[in-house]
């Protein structure tokens, strides 16, 4: 079983390149099957979740050709079934995008209920509501969501909850529906806009993505395209927080600074210096960071996917910080692991009260989910001594070469396969 072993206490210094956005890529790869012509998607991250969705796309008959580490060609013409098998997809949340794409194109889809990180109840009622508004019959049986109709018809829909998944999924089904669809109270995340831009490059007619109302004019068919995914806001944010927590100085390159505003603002508030270029953000962590309050909210609010990384940084900042998680109800599981490292955090309901400590100390800990795992790596990099992190498969779902990129910044981190490797690392470095 692979683990990360980290020798902490070294400020991260240097430059890091950010890859393509995981959450945009997952939706865009599913959306690529909406047409029969070849679609080439570039800047996809080389991570496990992407391999899973590509194999699911292949399993229903589409041609999937890797043109390079970050480029793939998908041809949907050869799809011969609308039933996605459980084994190929159970581990990822984004499996549900195949529902919207298959329903949009073939008017029928059967997809296993989504998996993904266990960070709380992850309802799909808004997806269902959207498909039903477009005229589909939707039922959940034997762990599958099944949607079917003779024809999809545009509709006026109000989302009761702001949901990234539901907004994208309904968009995927609506682009080929007859007539106009209006989506009110949609998610405005950068990846929602990226998916809309991708669909428009295939000939869809979507306006307003990123605003409070999305308007879609249904078209008869879509055509092939070539598209490059936007940079990953959460990967970038993770490096920004790693720079802050280790009191380092890191230039995070290949980003869209606008997408990082909520993170930059909070980092400045706690005392980091931030400078922005057209496609880069530099984070300089001051010697003593201050406390603050964080509330996770849909974009442009502070992203829930950055909450654990921010909490780790606040655990090392002076004073008492309050972190409120409003999106998912089980996103503080990593706090017990941080306590083993000397953090002083009390969780009450959806709020963490973080009493900053002067230092964390290395410990043996486990990654409970993807972003919490990344946060624990940051804790290990900032802590005195050696940290060993288990269950790193969660982390590898969403970060490409995280250990390698951290080493480029001077971080002492290695991916190890056995106890002997850990001992070797400790002898060499600790």
Q: For residues 257 and 253, give the distance between their C-alpha atoms in angstroms, rounded to a whole number.
A: 10
Task: State in angstroms the smallest separation of the CB of 399 from ligand UD1.
Answer: 13
Q: Which residues pair with 228 in a beta bridge?
A: 42
Backbone angles phi, psi at 399, to 5 degrees: -125, 130
Q: Is 23 in the site for ligand UD1 (CB under 6 A)?
A: yes
How far apart, in whole angstroms, are the C-alpha atoms of residue 250 and residue 236?
11
Asked if 170 interacts with ligand UD1 (CB under 6 A), we say no
Which of 96/239 has CB closer to ligand UD1? 96
- Residue 386 appears among annotated catalytic residues: no
225 binds ligand UD1 (CB under 6 A): no
CA–CA separation, 248 and 272 (whole Å): 10
Enter the tokens of residue 390: 């288990």
The closest of 249, 266, 247 to 316, measured between CA atoms, is: 247
Nearer CB in complex with ligand UD1: 187/422 = 187
How far is the C-alpha of 386 from the C-alpha of 376, rounded, in Å?
12
Q: Is 397 in the site for ligand UD1 (CB under 6 A)?
A: no
CB of 19 to ligand UD1, least distance (A): 16
Q: How far apart are CA 213 and CA 186, in angstroms?
A: 7
Residue 53 or 382: the one with the smaller Cβ distance to ligand UD1 is: 53
Cα distance between residue 255 and residue 262, in whole Å: 14
Q: Give me the residues paired with residue 187 across strands.
A: none
Candidates 9, 19, 154, 165: give the one binding ligand UD1 (CB under 6 A).
165
Catalytic residue among 35, 117, 272, 386: 117
Residue of 305, 325, 337, 369 interacting with ligand UD1 (CB under 6 A) = 305
Which listed residue (88, 95, 163, 350) binds ligand UD1 by CB under 6 A? 163
Q: What minimum distance in Å lies between the beta carbon of 386 and ligand UD1?
A: 30
Instruction: Report how far residue 284's alpha carbon sits from residue 240's, in angstroms, rounded to the nearest whole number.
Output: 9
**Residue 121 contacts ligand UD1 per CB under 6 A:** yes
Question: Prior bond to 97 cis, omega within 30?
Answer: no
Distance in Å, CB of 282 to ligand UD1, minimum: 26
Instruction: Indicate which single residue of 12, 26, 177, 244 sits in contact with ligand UD1 (rule: CB under 6 A).
Output: 26
Q: What residues are labeled active site?
A: 117
Interface with ligand UD1 by CB under 6 A: which residues? Answer: 23, 26, 93-94, 121-127, 161, 163-166, 187, 304-305, 327-328
């Amino acid at each position: 079983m692979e683990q990360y072993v980290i020798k902490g206490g070294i400020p991260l210094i240097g430059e890091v390149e950010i890859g393509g956005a995981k959450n945009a890529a997952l939706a865009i790869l599913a959306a690529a099957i909406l047409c029969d012509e070849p679609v080439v998607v570039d800047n996809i991250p080389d991570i496990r979740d992407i391999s899973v969705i590509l194999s699911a796309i292949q399993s229903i008959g589409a041609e999937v050709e890797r043109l390079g580490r970050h480029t793939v060609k998908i041809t949907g013409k050869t799809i011969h079934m609308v039933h996605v098998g459980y084994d190929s997809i159970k581990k990822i949340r984004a499996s549900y995008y195949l529902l919207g794409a298959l329903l949009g194109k073939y008017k029928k889809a059967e997809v296993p209920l989504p998996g993904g990180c266990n960070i709380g109840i992850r309802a799909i009622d808004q997806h269902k509501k959207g498909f039903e508004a477009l005229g589909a019959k939707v039922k959940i049986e034997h762990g599958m969501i099944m949607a079917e109709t003779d024809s999809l018809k545009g509709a006026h829909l109000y989302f009761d909850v702001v949901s990234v998944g539901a907004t994208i999924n309904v968009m995927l089904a609506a682009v080929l529906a007859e007539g106009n669809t209006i989506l009110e109270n949609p998610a405005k995340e950068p990846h929602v806009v990226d998916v809309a831009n991708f669909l428009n490059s295939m000939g869809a007619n979507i306006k307003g993505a990123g605003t409070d109302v999305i308007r879609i004019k249904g078209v008869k068919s879509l055509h092939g395209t070539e598209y490059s995914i936007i940079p990953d806001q959460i990967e970038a944010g993770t490096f920004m927080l790693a720079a802050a927590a280790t009191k380092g100085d890191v230039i995070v390159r290949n980003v869209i600074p606008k997408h990082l505003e909520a993170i930059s603002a909070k980092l400045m508030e706690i005392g980091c210096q931030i400078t922005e270029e057209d496609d880069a953000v530099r984070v300089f962590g001051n010697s003593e960071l201050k406390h603050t309050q964080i509330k996770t909210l849909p974009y442009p609010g502070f992203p829930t996917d950055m909450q654990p990384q921010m909490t780790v940084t606040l655990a090392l900042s002076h004073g008492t910080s309050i972190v409120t998680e409003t999106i998912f109800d089980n996103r503080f599981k990593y706090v017990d692991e941080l306590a083993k490292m000397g953090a002083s955090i009390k969780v009450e309901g959806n709020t963490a009260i973080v009493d900053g400590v002067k230092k964390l100390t290395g410990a043996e800990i486990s990654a409970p989910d993807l972003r919490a795992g990344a946060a624990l790596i940051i804790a290990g990099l900032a802590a005195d001594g050696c940290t060993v992190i288990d269950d790193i498969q969660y982390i590898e779902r969403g970060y490409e070469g995280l250990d390698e990129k951290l080493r480029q910044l001077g971080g002492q981190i290695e991916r190890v396969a056995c106890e002997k490797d850990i001992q070797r690392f400790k002898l060499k470095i600790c």
